[in-house]
Amino acid sequence: MVPLMLLVLTLSGCSRNKETLYVYNWGDYIDESVLGEFEKETGIKVVYDTFATNEDMYVKIKSGGSQYDLIFPSDYMITRMRDEGMLEKINLANIPNFKYIDDRFKGQDYDPKNEYSVPYMWGTVGILYNTTMVDDPVDSWDILWNPKYSKQIIMLDSQREAIGVALLRLGYSINTTDVDQLNEAAELLKQQKPLVLAYALDEAKDKMVAGEAALALVWSGEALYAMDENPDLDYAIPDEGTNLWFDGMAIPKGAKNKEAAEKFIDFLCRTEIAFRNADYTGYATPHTEARKLLDPEILNNKAAYPDEEDLVNAEVFVSLGEVLRDYDRIWTEVKAY
């Protein structure tokens, strides 16, 4: 929840003992009952905090002072943090359940040897829409710029995704390092701003369930969750392409309880636990056995488990280096506009 994010959580540094594991995950991204089970089984106390975007998490870890043992960054953020020496190598020998992870999610470009991350979930970015309010076909990002839906559009309040959608609409790569293309995307987002009802994160799905807006840019799992709550909702991946993403589990440099973090990773890779998390969050699991336990209806749902052909245009975010400053500047300008 955003308010929780706003109250920057400060951990008390004094009472740390060996048997505590500090976990920093995305909001609403786990079946929280598994935390208690882990505690009961291992005797390790789990302190669980949440963040709303990769950038939030990065800034918090980078500024130091936090003491997390396990974090859940996405693909490009794993690369960035690895390159900046912010991640600890994971010893896969301590994670026997790693064998259940589907080979196609191993050795991705963002972490070629899985030295720094173990895949947790994957998904896409697309448009969640209310079929009773939208009568045009939802097959292009253009619809998010359609004045007909003025003040009925919710945008994702996350810079890579929002700028990425503008870039896709312009026919550019979501990893562009061309400043002119980025400025074009910025203009497009400024044009869109009067049509936008709100820039939201976790709360977007609740707004859509309540019928407060017609269209929302969301991550696939949010869409699944919302569609489950309100049958009028549907999810589409536009033809221009999308962002295919992978969230991993990683251990930040200087983690005090690496051993427990690896235990927890292994625990989350257990078939039953991975199934429960996938079932609860609505996101796609890279776990081969957990997948088999899921309701076939979900597996056949293209929003959750898109086919290869739906993903031909999909691109994975890569870490951008210095040009990231331009992304930051553009996002600040768009929000300030």
Partner 1 sequence: MTRSKAMLPYVVWMALFIVVPLFLVVYYAFTHTSFNGAELTFANFQRVFQPIYLKVLARSLKLAVISTVICLLLGYPVALVMAGNAFSRKSTIMLLFVIPMWMNFLLRTYAWLTLLERNGALNQLLTRIGLPALNILYTDYAVVLGMVYNFLPFMILPIYSVLSKIDQGVIEAASDLGANKFVVFMRVILPLSLPGVVSGITMVFMPALTTFVISRLLGGGQYTLVGNLIEQQFLVVGDWGFGSAISMVMIILILISMAVMSFFEKSEEGATLW
Contacts with partner 1, residue ranges (CB under 8 A): 2-3, 6-8, 53, 55-56, 58-60, 62-63, 151, 157, 159, 193, 196-200, 210-212, 328, 331-333, 335-337
Q: Rounded to the nearest whole angstrom, what is the least distance from the CB of residue 193 to partner 1 in the complex?
A: 7
Cβ(315)–Cβ(76) below 8 Å: no
Q: Which is nearer to partner 1, 121 or 200 (CB)?
A: 200
Cβ(185)–Cβ(170) below 8 Å: yes
Which residues neighbour 93 within 8 Å (Cβ) at sequence distance 6 or greater?
A: none
Cβ(242)–Cβ(73) below 8 Å: no
Q: Which is nearer to partner 1, 93 or 336 (CB)?
A: 336
126 - beta bridge partners? 218
Q: Rounded to the nearest whole angstrom, what is the least distance from the CB of residue 337 to partner 1 in the complex?
A: 7
One-character DSSP codes across 232-247: TEEEE--TT--B-EEE
One-character DSSP codes across 271-324: HHHHHHHHHHH-PBP-BHHHHHHS-HHHHT-TTTS--GGGGTT-B-----GGGH
55 conformational bin, left if phi > 0, alpha if psi -120 to 50, beta if neither: alpha
Q: Rounded to the nearest whole angstrom, what is the least distance from the CB of residue 155 to partner 1 in the complex?
A: 8
Residue with tokens 């004094």: 14
The total of other beta-carbon atoms located within 10 Å of residue 289's CB is 18
Q: Rounded to the nearest whole angstrom, what is the least distance from the CB of residue 336 to partner 1 in the complex?
A: 5
Q: Rounded to the nearest whole angstrom, what is the least distance from the CB of residue 198 to partner 1 in the complex?
A: 3
Q: Which is nearer to partner 1, 157 or 247 (CB)?
A: 157
Q: Which is nearer to partner 1, 139 or 333 (CB)?
A: 333
Cβ(291)–Cβ(300) below 8 Å: no
Q: Which is nearer to partner 1, 36 or 211 (CB)?
A: 211
Q: Give the burial class of 235: count Cβ atoms within 10 A of its Cβ; 0-12 exposed, 13-18 middle, 19 or more buried.
A: buried
Cβ(314)–Cβ(241) below 8 Å: yes
Q: Which is nearer to partner 1, 14 or 336 (CB)?
A: 336
Q: Rounded to the nearest whole angstrom, what is the least distance from the CB of residue 286 to partner 1 in the complex?
A: 28
Q: Which is nearer to partner 1, 80 or 270 (CB)?
A: 80
284 - beta bridge partners? 122
Q: Which is nearer to partner 1, 197 or 236 (CB)?
A: 197
Q: Rounded to the nearest whole angstrom, what is the least distance from the CB of residue 6 to partner 1 in the complex?
A: 6
Q: Rounded to the nearest whole angstrom, what is the least distance from the CB of residue 55 to partner 1 in the complex?
A: 5
